[in-house]
């Protein structure tokens, strides 16, 4: 399996879809997939902005034939400015999420009750996810290729007091509802989800530094990133307005 990280890097650089590793490596385990992800991330030689949780909802896990949520790495290069139209280069999905920014380095496992003490603030976020696989993705393929990490939009940093579990979250496109949910639906609540993410990041061999961004998982599911104007309303966390220019359909 040693050649897979370089294969993924070559595909990434050429903007080509990734081959399915699970279709060719029948003995691939979750640990193997994370080892490959880690090597792929290292080969990209980009500055790490933080980490994301994915497949946090049971239906998403069932669809990807995996029994637990997964994590991926966020890069500085993935941030899109709110005021610019997002010109996508490949098919993508939109998710409404809450992000947290670390106030300190974290080197050991944490509990949900203490985790907010380690944060400097929170923000409303949009994740732009893109599996970008030749075949129908599953959980192992997603892990190995960095959990569909493509891009994200951040609101300004806000007080942790606003990161309650009862925030109504709605995403509309051209005034029509695309997604709706409540902030606390992610892994039993935002504190639980954040603690889970931190502990998984450390378990998988990554480091957490001051200023890292931690994105806890989708609220209300996901929708295709079609062209148009969007508004994401996060209740007390405010709203994000942005526009998308979808990637041309492949022929």
Tokens at residue 106, please? 């974290």
Residue 250, domain member (yes or no): no
Residue 192, domain member (yes or no): yes
Which of 155, 170, 166, 161 has the alpha carbon at shortest distance from 213? 155
Q: Which domain holds residue 88?
A: 4-245
Low-confidence stretches of the chain (pLDDT beneath 70): 1, 83, 249-251
**Number of domains within the chain:** 1
Residue 141, domain member (yes or no): yes
Residue 40, domain member (yes or no): yes
Residue 155, domain member (yes or no): yes
What is the predicted pLDDT for the residue at 81?
84
Backbone phi and psi for residue 109, each to the nearest 5 degrees, phi listed first: -55, 150
What is the predicted pLDDT for the residue at 26?
86
Residue 66, domain member (yes or no): yes
Residue 251, domain member (yes or no): no
This prediction has a pTM of 0.94
Alpha-helical segments (H) within the chain:
4-14, 21-24, 30-44, 58-63, 139-144, 190-203
Q: For residue 106, what is the domain's CATH number?
A: 3.90.850.10
What is the predicted pLDDT for the residue at 250?
58
């Amino acid at each position: 399996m040693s050649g897979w990280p370089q294969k993924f890097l070559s595909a990434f650089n050429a903007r080509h879809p990734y081959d399915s590793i699970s279709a060719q490596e029948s003995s691939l385990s979750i640990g193997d997939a994370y080892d490959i992800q880690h090597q792929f991330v290292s080969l990209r030689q980009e500055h790490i902005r933080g980490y994301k949780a994915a497949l946090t909802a049971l239906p998403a896990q069932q669809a990807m034939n995996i029994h637990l949520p997964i994590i991926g790495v966020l890069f500085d290069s993935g941030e899109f400015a709110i005021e610019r139209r997002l010109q996508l280069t490949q098919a993508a999905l939109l998710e409404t999420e809450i992000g947290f920014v670390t106030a300190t380095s974290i080197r050991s496992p944490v509990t949900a009750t203490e985790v907010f003490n380690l944060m400097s603030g929170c923000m409303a976020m949009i994740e732009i996810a893109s599996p970008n696989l030749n075949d129908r993705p599953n959980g192992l393929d997603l892990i190995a290729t960095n959990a569909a990490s493509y891009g994200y939009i951040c609101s300004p940093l806000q007080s942790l007091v606003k990161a309650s579990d009862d925030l109504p979250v709605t995403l509309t496109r051209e005034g029509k509802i695309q997604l709706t949910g409540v902030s606390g639906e992610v892994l039993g609540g935002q504190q639980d989800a954040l603690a889970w993410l931190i502990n998984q990041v450390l378990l998988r061999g990554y480091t957490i530094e001051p200023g890292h961004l931690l994105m806890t998982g989708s609220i209300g599911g996901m929708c295709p990133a079609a062209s148009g104007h969007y508004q994401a309303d996060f209740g007390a966390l405010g709203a994000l307005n942005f526009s998308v220019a979808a990637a041309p359909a492949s022929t």
